[in-house]
Structure 1
Amino acid sequence: MTNIWTSLTLSQWSPQRWQSGSYGCRLLFGSLGAWKAGSWLMQWADSLGVVLLSVLFALAPFVSTTLIGVLLALCALFLLVLLLSDDSQLALTPIHIGVGLYWLVASLATAFSRVPQQAVRGWVKLTLFLVVFALAARVLRSTKLRSVLITIYLHTALVVSVYGMRQVFFGAAPLATWTDPTSASANVTRVYSYLGNPNLLAGYLIPAIALSLGAVFAWEGWPRKGLALLMLGLNSTVLFQTYSRGGWIGMAATLFVFVLLAVYGWRDRLPQAWQKWALPTVLGGTVAVVLIAITAVPPVRDRVSSLFIGRADSSNNFRINVWTSVLQMIRDHPILGIGPGNEAFNQVYPLYMRPRYTALSAYSVLLEITVETGFVGLSAFIWLLVVTVQQALIQLRRLRHQANPQAFFLIATVASLAGFMAHGLVDTVWYRPQINTLWWLCLALVASFYPSLPPRSQPSQPS
């Protein structure tokens, strides 16, 4: 059974063997190595890549999706130059295989889509998002550069949260009907900061909460730890003030997974008497905190209770009707779906929707993946998640043995993925560029912890 799991998750897969035997790899990648060796600028290639990614994540909450698309295109162009000029071994990991398989299935779904023009545009967007993964996984292998990008994102999220706190104190005009007007929480202020939507803001802050919590342990010096604590407090408070039920679920999942992995990684350093009860204490404590919040905090009680009243809540009723129509779409396109992207969805969904229930997405990430790429795509995506978590656990054990504080950023990254998925069960805000880029960044952060490969051996020169 262990051998089957090891093979399924590529736990012992070695990229060196594949790269050394791949003619295409040797022909294409590194073909401009001589040019790079003579270029002063390309000696700083990894740093330049981090600069591009830093600009992307620093501007994402404040600029239009068009500008984000331009920045993604620049990242794609730089990645191509980097791969063609890189004379070292490709930094491939099992996670790259999972991402590549998912992209291949999406490409097939595009080729066989009933709305090919719209699907091609969705495929281009998906490919640009995957560039974030490929570039970040390549340039963030350096601990210093990884920390730089994480710090820039956390400071950007801090600006977003500060403006969110301003809306908490001075009010924020609703830009859409986000709350059932007949519910007990109809008059609450749902903050949205620069993102323009409270659900979108909640999704944006999920990794900020996880990474700022990781920074509390990973950053050295009390001033920096104090800053991390400030970030954690502000990010958590603002996410709570979004009153996004999906966001709350995502935050709870994020914190739970963080604590669970931290206890898992350092349980053997606890006193012997405590080791046995460490995990049960985490589970019991989590349940207790959730129950206390639900019973003792009226806004939480009102929002959580609305989850269980079915169609009596307008938001629930809307989602149930959309999900019903999406399931019918999946029934008619079960293998490869209708093709990737919101434009393909918008072309096909009106043929199935119930009157007055227009929608731009499936309002569930797993349903969205299935309707876009079929059950084949869903299987590829789930396999990608399994491989990612397995690789994270392997690298976490390695970092724990080294007593490397970067392990807390790895834990935070996995916790962010859990929060994204929990939030995504009932919403699809992560298909917005501000969130989607963060999702692929988190996958890239896990991949960046994969041990670096030795430099590619150079052919000997004739004497």
Structure 2
Amino acid sequence: MVKKFLVVLIILLPLQFALNIGENFDLVTTRVLIPILFLLWLMKSFARKKVWLPRRAEVWLVASFLFLSWLSLFLGRDAEAGWRKLLYFFSIFPVFFVTADIAREEKWQKRAAAAVIASGTIAAAIALVQFSLPFVIGLGKSVKIWEGLVPYALGHSFGRLVAANSSWLVNIGGETRMRAFGFFPDPHNFSFFVNLCFFAGLGYFFWQKKIMPRIWVGVGLAFMLIAVVFSYSRGAYLGLLAGIIFFAVIFLKRSGLLGKVFVVVGIAAILVTIFNSNIISQRMVSSFDPKEGSNAERYKNWVQAVELARDYPLGGVGLGNYARAIDPASQDRSSVYAHNLFLDIAAETGIINAAVFFLLIAVSVWRNVRSKHMLNLGLAAGLIGFLAHSIFDTALYSPQVLTMLLVIIALGLSDNAKFKIQSSK
């Protein structure tokens, strides 16, 4: 039951909805289902008189991150302001321990990986429908429809915040377009999620030898790739590019001549298709324009975060205190953040905690590459893409993205021989 529960939870992540409990209290279903899953797992573990935890550095890094986040409440400015975020962490992180245990069985590791691909495909399909809507009924009506869905997908309180600070639209060559994001709050969190799923699917595709599963995975990969392109997220493009290059370099080192030719041709076709577009190239070039509005604002955010981390190096300003440290008039739920994952963590919970979270991802990349399994190579490439994208954005407080990130890291702890690269030599 616990194993099936996990698989269903992963698949349904893009379809989460909010329980509007109070005026300023939204609770998405992911934050309810994971604690239930964790409790069921604990009950099963106690019944067999053994709670299994992997003897891996990642477990200690996860525990250290949670401890330092808790400690920052007392070292920072206002402990009360951070309890909401701490509860958020403790409602999501348990999925790491459950997945790590379940993925020890090869059959369930494979099913969990397939669930990741299915989840990314569902997210991409919804986003592509949403992206296409303005071409059918017009931009204004499409925006109104999605604004009407926001309270159900995100909650009334968070939905109002998203609507007030929306990044759903983008100006491309003088034309305003709706970006692909599905039921996520914005294109950035959406593309973080889909990129993680895409690279897991890429590893699964190269491992799978049967034709029909390969076809289905290939269709899913195409959906995810197109959806990320239409998110118009420059950070997502950088993450996608970094992940593809990483995957290709490692794969080329390991495969025979036929594999090398296949990968070079395939990767070249993907890159030419994506970056040959004037729209995409314009978005990429604008990333390096210091006069561009969002770039100037992002640089300002970085400077502010660095200053806070410098002034509060040990515990940061305290979990949940970043927005008010920048703007004392900010509300409890604010859109103010550093636009860089590690600067966000360093400013709120200290430089050491930012290093801990970076090490969590870096160690997972190392372990996945070291395993020499095709699925693990895809997981590692997804984490590299996540790191690259995190230079420009923060997805730590997206329940869907954080859950998927922890699932990916947990899947990488397993070492099953069936995922080994089959050299074409």
Q: Normalising by structure 1, report the TM-score.
A: 0.73
2:309 to 326, 330, 333: 330
Distance 1:180 1:165, change over 3 A: closer
Count of matched residue pairs: 376
> Is residue 2:287 matched to residue 1:307?
yes
Q: 1:164 corresponds to which letter in structure 2?
A: A
Distance 1:366 1:308, change over 3 A: same
Deviation by residue 1:268-292 (Cα, 9 ceiling, x = unmatched): x448xx9xxx79x97x997998689
Distance 2:181 2:346 in 1: 29
Distance 2:406 2:199 in 1: 15
Distance 1:106 1:83 in 2: 27
1:114 to 77, 89, 98: 77
Structure 2, unmatched stretches of 5+, are 19-26, 144-162, 418-425
Distance 1:390 1:157, change over 3 A: closer
> Is residue 2:46 matched to residue 1:84?
yes
Q: 1:140 corresponds to which letter in structure 2?
A: A
Alignment of 1:55-94 (within 5 A): 55-62=8-15, 63-64=17-18, 65-87=27-49, 90-94=53-57
Distance 1:66 1:166 in 2: 23
Distance 1:285 1:95, change over 3 A: same
1:196 Cα deviation from its structure 2 partner: 4.2
> Is residue 2:326 matched to residue 1:349?
yes
Deviates more, 1:136-145 or 1:441-450: 441-450
Deviation by residue 1:14-61 (Cα, 9 ceiling, x = unmatched): xxxxxxxxxxxxxxxxxxxxxxxxxxxxxxxxxx33223223223322
Deviation by residue 1:320-370 (Cα, 9 ceiling, x = unmatched): 222222222222211121233xx33333331499xxxx7432211011111
Distance 1:299 1:375, change over 3 A: same
1:136 to 83, 99, 114: 99
Q: Secondary structure at the match of 1:61?
A: helix
Distance 1:302 1:196, change over 3 A: same
> 1:180 touches 1:315 (CA, 8 Å); kept in 2?
no
Distance 1:52 1:212 in 2: 21
Q: Secondary structure at the match of 1:118?
A: helix
Q: 2:213 corresponds to which letter in structure 1?
A: R
2:364 to 366, 370, 388: 388
2:179 to 183, 190, 197: 190
Distance 2:326 2:8 in 1: 36
Q: Normalising by structure 2, report the TM-score.
A: 0.79
Q: Secondary structure at the match of 2:350?
A: helix
Distance 1:194 1:289, change over 3 A: closer
Distance 1:292 1:230 in 2: 16
2:60 to 93, 97, 113: 97
> 2:121 touches 2:221 (CA, 8 Å); kept in 1?
no
Distance 1:192 1:292, change over 3 A: closer
Correspondence for 1:23? none
For the aligned residue pairs, the C-alpha RMSD in angstroms reads: 3.0
1:369 to 342, 345, 366: 345
Residue identity (%): 20
> 2:170 touches 2:178 (CA, 8 Å); kept in 1?
no
Q: Secondary structure at the match of 1:448?
A: coil
> 1:108 touches 1:336 (CA, 8 Å); kept in 2?
yes
Correspondence for 2:298? 319
1:212 to 198, 201, 222: 201
Distance 1:86 1:250 in 2: 42
1:260 Cα deviation from its structure 2 partner: 2.2
